[in-house]
Amino acid sequence: MKVLVVGSAGREHALAWKIAQSPKVDEVIGAPGNAGMTRIGRCFPGVSGTDCDAVVALAREEEVDLVVVGPEDPLAAGVSDRLREAGFAVFGVSQAAAQLESSKSFAKDFMQRHGIPTAAYATFDDAAAASAYVKAQGVACVVKADGLAAGKGVAMCETPADAEAAIAEMMNDRRFGDAGDRIVIEEWMQGEEASYYAITDGENVVTLATSQDHKRALDGDRGENTGGMGAYSPAPVLTEACEKRVLEEIVHPAIRGMREEGNRYQGVLYVGLMIDAEGVPRVVEFNVRFGDPETQALLVRMQGDLVPLLEGAAHGRLDASTALAWGDAAVCVVMASGGYPRAYESGKAIRGVEDAEDDHVVVFHAGTKLAGDGFETAGGRVLGVTARGSDVREARDRAYAAVSKIHFEGAFSRSDIASRALDR
């Protein structure tokens, strides 16, 4: 079969890499794809995932058997609906279901309707009312732009004054455009975060291994929030007992709730969790796609074939008894351009990727482009250096040994990825 992967980040390179290993798959193509994905199959850099007409036209032209949509923007733009109308099998949720990620107020109201544990919240369309609310509450809180803001529309506010500043930035200065015209103000939850993934056809569910990412730019979880500076799997904070609660109290009610509301959920549900000191899980956020860079670590760890799961979800016949086998551990360390997540320079030659890869290490591309015989930087997060090992420590050591072999001007990575698993 022929599979089209939509997207251009490290996550899509990892998906294409894993899908290409399936005995069922003859060819993988990417739209727009990235420089690393061109080593796996043809890419169509002119086809943006949010251009639904262009994606449908490409799927027709190439007569693909399955489309796998990586990022949230094409899902929120309705690319899955358009592809399904055109008769294609799609791993990716509908535009209506994508609201779980594209609207924080939709997600919070949905959780409330279905009794899914999450932070207390209030929604505002008016800056003055929001400011009055945070003043009256008088405690630390989290202010979020309602719409998609590439993971940056969240302000952690220690004081009401911080919260008022965040409200003004979102609603008056419109830092995130329309995405901040409505905001959600949440209780600041304490605990440790983890990521959990469920693949579903809307009814049957197969869950993946546990993982955790590192969102802040700097060591010790300092600095600004980023898309994610690294990830590891498994995440020991998600104990077996906690995982059971996540399934019973969050995953199943969410998938059932979406179905009952007429938004059958076909794709992957990403549950961002906060787990408190007693091991009680609550939802920080739902995403409607795989995490980046958690996916890089998960897929390097996953043994066996991913494609039957993707197909099962796409065709509405997922086998819930599918037993997945996992290698012991994997760690992904992101190498970023100096300055990220703020302004950074591009066009820096990248050296050493081939030396860095071996039986245990895969280097996934994100912000790179082909330049002559090699690659140069072309984005904030440049590479996801991913290693497996017999435990998290070995995987971490291998990933950092590989990072030390790769060079580009201004490169930076965190030096403490996976420390939360190792310092317990």
Site for ligand AMP in 354-393 (CB under 6 A): none
Number of residues that bind ligand AMP (CB under 6 A): 16
Q: Which is nearer to ligand GLY, 74 or 312 (CB)?
A: 74
Which of ligand GLY, ligand AMP, none does residue 294 bind to, with CB < 5 to 8 Å depending on kind? ligand GLY
Which tokens go with 273?
């969790």
Specify whether the CB–CB gap between 201 and 282 falls below 8 A.
no
Which of ligand GLY, ligand AMP, none does residue 186 bind to, with CB < 5 to 8 Å depending on kind? ligand AMP
Q: Which is nearer to ligand AMP, 81 or 285 (CB)?
A: 285
In the complex, least distance from residue 289 CB atom to ligand GLY, rounded to whole angstroms: 8
| Numbers of helices and strands, H then E, in the chain | 15, 24
Q: Which is nearer to ligand GLY, 131 or 295 (CB)?
A: 295
- Biggest alpha carbon distance in the chain? 61
Site for ligand GLY in 139-178 (CB under 6 A): 151
Tell me the β-bridge partners of 368: 377
CA-closest candidate to residue 178, choices 208, 153, 214, 206? 153
In the complex, least distance from residue 155 CB atom to ligand AMP, rounded to whole angstroms: 9
Among the listed residues 99, 233, 287, 368, the single contact to ligand GLY using CB under 6 A: 287
Q: Which is nearer to ligand AMP, 155 or 363 (CB)?
A: 155
Q: Rounded to whole angstroms, how far apart are CA atoms 160 and 96?
A: 34
CA-closest candidate to residue 256, choices 115, 82, 47, 72? 115
In the complex, least distance from residue 317 CB atom to ligand GLY, rounded to whole angstroms: 28
Using only C-alpha atoms, the chain has a radius of gyration, in whole angstroms, of 21
Query: 146: which residues sit within 8 A by CB, 6+ positions away?
Result: 103, 104, 105, 123, 179, 180, 181, 182, 183, 184
Which of ligand AMP, ligand GLY, none does residue 238 bind to, with CB < 5 to 8 Å depending on kind? none
Site for ligand AMP in 261-320 (CB under 6 A): 272, 274, 284-285
Q: What single-letter amino acid sits at 308? A: P
Specify whether the CB–CB gap between 279 and 232 falls below 8 A.
no
211 forms part of the interface with ligand GLY (CB under 6 A): no
Q: Rounded to whole angstroms, how far apart are CA atoms 337 and 357?
A: 20
Q: Rounded to whole angstroms, how far apart are CA atoms 403 and 194?
A: 24
Site for ligand GLY in 323-362 (CB under 6 A): none
Q: What single-letter amino acid sits at 378? A: A
Q: Rounded to whole angstroms, how far apart are CA atoms 85 and 83?
A: 5
Site for ligand AMP in 116-135 (CB under 6 A): 119
Which of ligand GLY, ligand AMP, none does residue 73 bind to, with CB < 5 to 8 Å depending on kind? none
Sign of CA dihedral 378, 379, 380, 385: negative
78 forms part of the interface with ligand AMP (CB under 6 A): no
292 forms part of the interface with ligand GLY (CB under 6 A): yes
Tell me the β-bridge partners of 291: none
Among the listed residues 147, 228, 367, 379, the single contact to ligand GLY using CB under 6 A: 228
291 forms part of the interface with ligand GLY (CB under 6 A): yes
Which of ligand AMP, ligand GLY, none does residue 213 bind to, with CB < 5 to 8 Å depending on kind? ligand GLY
For ligand GLY, the binding residues (CB under 6 A) are 151, 213, 228, 287, 291-292, 294
